[in-house]
Structure 1
């Protein structure tokens, strides 16, 4: 049971990357830019977590579904994986929404020109 959370995070990350691949939204649209955004986002959130841990705000919970492996005090191995998932998920949703809104705008303009 100790790897359920980590496995769920990796499975969810894989699903986000499959959506990304299918619709060419983030990594499969511009890999270099996507990598830079992902690394910057991950580092930002890790620094945020470390600051929260240092100030006694964030604590590691003892869950039966977690591995129990910690990278630093109060920083379980699942946290960077979750933060990676968070960044990738956010960017896939953002780029997907931007594409949908762009297409809706094009359709509105096309209808307006035809009237």
Structure 2
């Protein structure tokens, strides 16, 4: 089933975007910074991949789930999409953890005020 891997990444990306928008974690709060962070992270990891490919460490295996379009030898089209997803997921997870941490700190502050 060609394209299944790319479809899974895109569906997962859409799910993370829904969570991001619903909880106002990254993109709705600071769209420019979010897009810049994802672009910088994706570029870094893509460069990392290219160095690994040139060193012979990373090779593309044969999989019927890939579309079959290579951007470079051993670099399938799905790779930069996955790297962008990975960077965005990390950013949303970090923003979510900070929001939970802030709410817990706020709740602790409220409890202290009541107990005085």
Q: Which runs of 4+ in 1 moved over 2 A?
A: none
Unmatched runs of 5 consecutive residues or more in structure 1: none
Provide the secondary structure at the position in 1 that maps to 2:71.
strand
Query: What is the alpha-carbon distance in structure 2 between the residues aligned to residue 110 and residue 84 of structure 1?
Result: 39
Q: Does the Cα contact within 8 Å between 1:21 and 1:28 map onto a contact in 2?
A: yes
For these two proteins, the number of residue pairs brought into alignment is 115
Unmatched runs of 5 consecutive residues or more in structure 2: none
Q: Does the Cα contact within 8 Å between 1:62 and 1:68 map onto a contact in 2?
A: no
1:20 paired residue number? 20
Tell me the CA shift for residue 113 of structure 1: 2.1
In the superposition, the TM-score normalised over structure 1's length comes to 0.97
Provide the secondary structure at the position in 2 that maps to 1:48.
helix
Alignment of 1:77-92 (within 5 A): 77-92=77-92
Query: What is the alpha-carbon distance in structure 2 between the residues aligned to residue 20 and residue 63 of structure 1?
Result: 31
In the superposition, the TM-score normalised over structure 2's length comes to 0.96
